[in-house]
Structure 1
Amino acid sequence: MAPVYSFFDAIAHRDKAAMLAQTVPDTAVTISREGGLRHLTIDNLADLVVNIKSGSLAEPIHDPIVQVDNNIASVWAPFVFTIDGTPTNCGTDIFTLAKLNGKWLIVNLTYNSQKNCESAR
């Protein structure tokens, strides 16, 4: 879970380098929203995060389900993304990780997103 929590901490600090430090180069990001899928690289996602102009960012997750098999792992967890404590979107994050040279890194991120999040707080 350490790279996932470090990734969220980097989001909160709008720290692109710290976000990328938790991932392999060209980590794939897939966003599922009503109307279809959006595919990004982790670099694209980090740019979107750091360019959010105002407010404190947080993406708390809860009740993560972690599965590990040797040098691969997955983390499935509901989230609520907030700006200044107000939910902007919510859904479920799914991280795929791999242990490379003794270090766990994020190799894929998929999440769904919806706007009606008041009940998800």
Structure 2
Amino acid sequence: MKTLKLWMLTLVFTASASIGFAQDGKKGQEVKFKTSAVCGMCKATLEKGLAYEKGVEKASLDVNSKVLTVTFNGQKTSVEKLKKAVNELGYDADDAPATPRAYERLDECCKKDAVH
């Protein structure tokens, strides 16, 4: 009887672990974009703006290198959607240019040609 209980417990644990891994398979994906961000205000705008995007777990901009690192759930969003979100915040993302209207709404210090 103890062997049967142990076997059942092992079976339940293995099945639940397998289901957990299958569901988490796309969580924690990471993508990096080279952006046109130039200052601390850009950092705040990008990190806060991406926090509202579905599936984003974390966004962090390194202002010196202009690289935005986004950790996300691939079951809820995609790299293309994230790139579009960056563009709609007014910033370039790799080869995708910022949306002109969003770029115009940026503060002067956040524009690519601003003197810092």
Q: Tell me the TM-score range normalised by the shorter chain.
A: under 0.3
Instruction: Using structure 2 for the length normalisation, give the TM-score.
Output: 0.25
Instruction: Using structure 1 for the length normalisation, give the TM-score.
Output: 0.24
More strand by share: 1
